[in-house]
Amino acid sequence: MWFRRDLRLLDNPALLAALSAARADGSATDARVIPLFVLDPAIWDAAGPVRQAYLTAALAALDKSLNGNLLIRHGNPIDCVPEVVAATGASSVHIAADFGPYGIQRDAGVEVALGTVPLVRTGSPYAVSPGRIMKDDGTAYRVYTPFFRAWVRHGWPKPAADIPSDVSWWQGMKSQGIPVAPDLGALKLPEAGEQVAWERWEQFRTNGLATYQELRNRADLAGTSAIGHHLKWGEIHPRSLLAELSDDDEVFRKELCWREFYADVLAQRPDSARVSLDPRFDKEMPWATDADDLFEAWATGNTGYPFVDAGMRQLRTEGWVHNRVRMVVASFLVKDLHIPWQRGAAEFMYWLRDGDLASNSHGWQWTAGCGTDASPFYRVFNPVLQGQKFDPDGEYVRRYLPELAHLPGKSAHEPWLHPDGYLHGYPERIVDHKSEREVALANYTVIKKPTA
């Protein structure tokens, strides 16, 4: 069993397939399964320290659940997986299908390298695998709402059966071990592992699901599931969550579907991870040049707009940002600072503990106005009004901006209106939002009208 984005034992069809194959091939005393994880430098090196640190913790939790039998090898899977097969005599390799651009290429290479040993794909990280939901004419959906309706009509399997209690785990060769987690300094990550994922889900299902629709946009409150990092590494499967939702939980069901929609879009258009689906935004939009200082102010939370800065400081403090705030900070970068979405998306992927290529790239494209089912470019989030609406008492701002802790209530959103607003070193605004909004709209007129 080659684990990748499915670091769990429950509801794992690929793992059940490996167990079934082992028992079919082996005798009663030799029905062994090798639980393998390959530390692939192509993924590890690109992950950034936050996801690297979380992955090490997630692997440690998985290893514990396997009674210390997780075999870890370091290197290119095209080399490592056949090496394990050759050293152990494994008769088949089992995986959950990967639909990402790199994953598809990697798995095809491994399949060739394995020769006559089959690479068996069972399940995927999604309730409905990308490519399954198609329009009547056989083309992929480009708009979320009809995709959601079709996704619900299509349905998904029930959670997979539990694994037997008498599995014979076997490393079969020397494990190269879990790497040392990078030092994150003051950034603190939540606990990792399948058990923690289920505990977090049960807490949210019991205490937060009923108020999710009402509170999910409030940055100052814990109104979201905060389960994205567990879904990212497959410590819990979305199918498991969907099985526990009722008809009253439609809003949360839709949020799970957004993840599946973006995965489907990326599978259909792998280049959209870094290229705008509307090519005019890459080829014709007059983006700012020599904007490194502006980008640095945005990235470090020093724009002078408290709601934006609180979000970017949260990112570097927790490796996570509230979804409403993600949209606001993205809008500010693209439409107030006139910097392409790709640069912001890369910054997010470096810091986010739940960084998922499909969701991140297409979430940014949605805000930038250049993606599938995108918010129109002329919808420019006002960072002050957004803060006052979704952090009405200023609690979120004060939590991450100690320079504004002395400003009570919603006054924290407009320090420039108060004589002591800058008393503790908070920066003044680097741009004027009203003026830059006009610039953004003028820039947009440069783009040619879409052809029929």
- The one catalytic residue among 111, 255, 395, 414: 255
Angle between helices 323-331 and 341-351 in degrees, nearest 10: 140
H/E element, 55: helix 41-65
Nearest residue to 70 via CA among 164, 160, 1, 10: 1
- The one catalytic residue among 320, 341, 351, 366: 341
- The conformational region for residue 210 under phi > 0 = left, psi -120 to 50 = alpha, else beta, is alpha
- The one catalytic residue among 2, 258, 298, 320: 258
Look up residue 395 and give its DSSP letter: H
Residues in a beta bridge with 2: 36
- The one catalytic residue among 76, 217, 323, 443: 323
CA distance 238 to 254: 12
Q: Which residue has the tokens 């709402």?
A: 145
* 3-state SS, residue 74: strand
* 3-state SS, residue 250: helix
- The one catalytic residue among 44, 156, 287, 395: 287
Amino acid, res. 409: G
- The one catalytic residue among 2, 364, 382, 403: 364
For 206, phi then psi, to 5°, come to -80, -40
The question of whether 258 is a catalytic residue gets the answer yes
Token pair, residue 123, equals 């399940």
The question of whether 170 is a catalytic residue gets the answer no
Token pair, residue 116, equals 């006559």
Q: Other CB atoms closer than 10 Å to residue 116's CB: what's the count?
A: 4
The question of whether 44 is a catalytic residue gets the answer no
The dihedral through the CA atoms of 375, 344, 330, 51 has a sign that is positive
The question of whether 341 is a catalytic residue gets the answer yes
Look up residue 246 and give its DSSP letter: -
Token pair, residue 402, equals 């100690």
The question of whether 364 is a catalytic residue gets the answer yes
Burial class (CB in 10 A: 0-12, 13-18, 19+), 356: buried
Q: Which residues are catalytic?
A: 255, 258, 287, 323, 341, 364
